[in-house]
Structure 1
């Protein structure tokens, strides 16, 4: 049965009426896709970045409430990253076997339970456990909407729909910490997780009542763990994937070092309020998004290899400068042995340079990682995402274990990440000519549009 907006609905009974749980997929031209679908997919996709970022300004308050050491809240972010690493590599195959709707529905139910657990936690260990559970479940809403885009559209229509999801993923990290920081002026950190639980509940309701099944039964694949492991082993042995994938992974290491350390650095050391830290977080996010827009404008005019090389050079310069500034601040401390407030501006400036380049490094590294993986692009993408979150969890753990009364651990680990990206960039093979040519052709088409 065809709905007015071009979606084909399955029939649930002999009367021909579609049930509220009806499955659906697009069999019309891409332009016939309902206008509400990108909004719905975006709402589901935003669960990941919202849950990652909205509670960052609450790190000091969380540590005080749970009677934990300064900097230990970073362990909850580490648990979140580990959960996303596990979920990234499992949710894709599960959605290929059972369809898109059911795994997301189960994931959002468990995510809601995990968020409630975080809200009522009485120790940092409990918080880490529930964050791990919520992250594994939330991975469904991060991975599966992209698969839905592939189910429903192709070509330019798919690119446009995907760009809307990416825009949401870019804007949400700016807004979430700002909203979280402002909310902490009026509510406790526990209320943030109650809001997350309500968000999860709304996602469950939408999946039950509105979201269509986009993967027909005939297109589903058998779930064979041994075959899947063999596929990942073959992907890992391919040089362009592993080198570019590790550049991508250490890009995540750099970003999550910052995410874990910055709340303590700016709120505990420099005395920022949660609201002020949220605004600073937004500034860094704008730098990353701005760099990604520059990258998009240069695709097809400058080779991916050259863009990656220049971005890595700038990143290393920024990270070295950050370490020098922090060393000077530690060498000549202000009152009470704290770093001088005058060092704040150069520290923020160096971080803007170092973090901003990730908007160029990440996309070009991913292009290189997938350049020879056309047959298993989905699995390769999930594998790369798992590497990034695994290295991100390592960074968060390291920050949680190191001293929290100085920005030095943050500066050292960010420089380490920048240098490791440089090492693996040198080891990667040249991007195949046909891939470069395809990128140039696509960029030319985009400019014409």
Structure 2
């Protein structure tokens, strides 16, 4: 791999007004908190999924639809939030979205049926989507090239604390309350993030850079992005990589507790250890991304992630214990930790004038593919760990193939 200072148009020039020092740290904490809505809302109640099947009288697959509904809602919500943020700035749509998230969290806590919970989770996701998409767009407003990849890695450090802490917090909350108390906790967190964002996050998109939110213009912008082969290849890599990760997220609660016999608290510790591996990988990436090609780093990470998932599949098929399965799974997760910042930065690098729309398409593919993976894991039953590991390997290999074919051909054509 060769040294590389940037990728794509204007990638070698820092974005105007790029923050530094304490201001950069403040942005990282706030934007990281906004992107944490997703993993917090997904991971915190994972230890409660088996208990929810009994409490709501629903089967395993139907309870996992509450995960899928949230993930799909995250994708759809970004399609709405991104053009609004390009037209009216980042701040106002963001505050409205966080308010919706907070109110929907209350509805989740009081849902009497699985059907109402699924509906409430969908609305909750629409609100959370603004934080996810606008945080990415704000990074593109402020940074470019290697600086953008480094900031995305820093963002994953902040937001990465969520999947580490969320299942641990959820497991401990279950000793004091039910799954409804977990959603009340998310309500409080949503209110706190709303207050901090309103007080401390300035507008990052100048009025002169805003684009009209006309339907025809929005459709044309999305069409241009989808015809950009390199963007499409990187976006598919992001989506398929997340599907691998989300297969683990949605299936691990049942696999580790029902197949391997862990308690909710034991599961939360094992899950948190995997998240530590992921976050450490993002920080290694931040330190070396300026020394090596982003494309080379991404390819290496994709290979590592696929290899770990394949080994985990073999270990589960042979009936080996957690001591053999967990290291392979952690390698797959660490690879994913380097895939996401590099693939995201490369996808956005050529589109500074369409940052909101490009961020939305990334999110749609990421969460739509991931959401589709969740119920499929549940359909294979709860008596074996093989389906989860095999699906992780499938998505990881597809992500590798996508980057090596679609994205590579797109970059060669552009060259």
Which residue of the partner structure matches residue 19 of structure 1?
A: none
Distance in structure 2 (CA, Å) of the matches to 1:405 and 1:57: 17
CA, structure 1 residues 322+139, in 2 after alignment: closer, same or farther (shift >3 Å)? same
Distance in structure 1 (CA, Å) of the matches to 2:145 and 2:296: 27
Most deviating of 121-130 and 216-225: 216-225
The residue correspondences of 1:121-140 to structure 2 (distance < 5 A) are 121-140=111-130
SS at match of 2:60: coil
Most deviating of 216-225 and 278-287: 216-225
* 2:324 is equivalent to residue 346 of structure 1: yes
Kindly indicate which of the two structures has a greater share of residues assigned to helix: 2
Which residue of the partner structure matches residue 363 of structure 1?
A: 341
Distance in structure 1 (CA, Å) of the matches to 2:323 and 2:18: 54
Task: Name the TM-score, length of structure 2 as normaliser.
Answer: 0.85
Q: CA deviation at 1:196?
A: 1.1
Q: CA deviation at 1:256?
A: 0.5
Question: Per-residue CA shift, 1:366-413, capped at 9, x if unaligned?
Answer: 344335434434422321221111100011121233312211220221
Question: Which of 393, 415, 418 is matched with 2:371 structurally?
Answer: 393
Which residue of the partner structure matches residue 74 of structure 1?
A: 64
Distance in structure 1 (CA, Å) of the matches to 2:283 and 2:27: 25
- Contact 2:148 2:345 survives alignment (8 Å): no
- Contact 2:149 2:342 survives alignment (8 Å): no
Which residue of the partner structure matches residue 401 of structure 2?
A: 423
CA, structure 1 residues 186+430, in 2 after alignment: closer, same or farther (shift >3 Å)? same
Distance in structure 2 (CA, Å) of the matches to 1:349 and 1:104: 39
Aligned pair count reads: 398
The residue correspondences of 1:267-306 to structure 2 (distance < 5 A) are 267-306=257-296
Which residue of the partner structure matches residue 316 of structure 2?
A: 326
Greater relative contact order (CA < 8 Å, ≥ 6 in sequence):
2
Question: Which of 98, 121, 131 is matched with 1:141 structurally?
Answer: 131
SS at match of 1:429: helix
Which residue of the partner structure matches residue 177 of structure 2?
A: 187
Most deviating of 180-189 and 297-306: 297-306
SS at match of 2:211: coil
Task: Name the TM-score, length of structure 1 as normaliser.
Answer: 0.79
Distance in structure 1 (CA, Å) of the matches to 2:254 and 2:364: 26
Question: Per-residue CA shift, 1:175-226, capped at 9, x if unaligned?
Answer: 1111111111221111000111122233344456665555565554321121
Distance in structure 1 (CA, Å) of the matches to 2:402 and 2:26: 42
Q: CA deviation at 1:51?
A: 1.5
SS at match of 1:254: helix
Distance in structure 2 (CA, Å) of the matches to 1:386 and 1:105: 21
Distance in structure 1 (CA, Å) of the matches to 2:278 and 2:384: 25
The residue correspondences of 1:85-234 to structure 2 (distance < 5 A) are 85-148=75-138, 165-206=155-196, 212-213=202-203, 215=205, 220-234=210-224
Q: CA deviation at 1:47?
A: 2.6
Distance in structure 1 (CA, Å) of the matches to 2:263 and 2:52: 14
Distance in structure 1 (CA, Å) of the matches to 2:116 and 2:68: 14
Q: CA deviation at 1:141?
A: 1.9
Distance in structure 2 (CA, Å) of the matches to 1:50 and 1:227: 34
- Contact 1:115 1:196 survives alignment (8 Å): yes
CA, structure 1 residues 117+345, in 2 after alignment: closer, same or farther (shift >3 Å)? same
Question: Which of 73, 78, 88 is matched with 1:83 structurally?
Answer: 73
| RMSD of equivalent CA atoms | 3.1
Q: CA deviation at 1:282?
A: 1.2
| 5+ long unaligned stretches in structure 1 | 1-25, 330-341, 437-449
Most deviating of 356-365 and 293-302: 293-302
Which residue of the partner structure matches residue 382 of structure 2?
A: 404
The residue correspondences of 1:35-46 to structure 2 (distance < 5 A) are 39-46=29-36
Which residue of the partner structure matches residue 9 of structure 2?
A: none
Q: CA deviation at 1:130?
A: 0.7
Question: Per-residue CA shift, 1:85-133, capped at 9, x if unaligned?
Answer: 0122221221232333332222122212211111111222221111111
Distance in structure 2 (CA, Å) of the matches to 1:294 and 1:212: 30
Distance in structure 1 (CA, Å) of the matches to 2:32 and 2:344: 22
- Contact 2:87 2:212 survives alignment (8 Å): yes
- Contact 1:152 1:214 survives alignment (8 Å): yes
Distance in structure 1 (CA, Å) of the matches to 2:372 and 2:33: 29
Most deviating of 187-196 and 41-50: 41-50
- Contact 1:31 1:157 survives alignment (8 Å): no
- Contact 1:30 1:153 survives alignment (8 Å): no
Which residue of the partner structure matches residue 354 of structure 2?
A: 376
- Contact 1:71 1:264 survives alignment (8 Å): no
SS at match of 2:213: coil
Question: Which of 49, 57, 64 is matched with 2:54 structurally?
Answer: 64
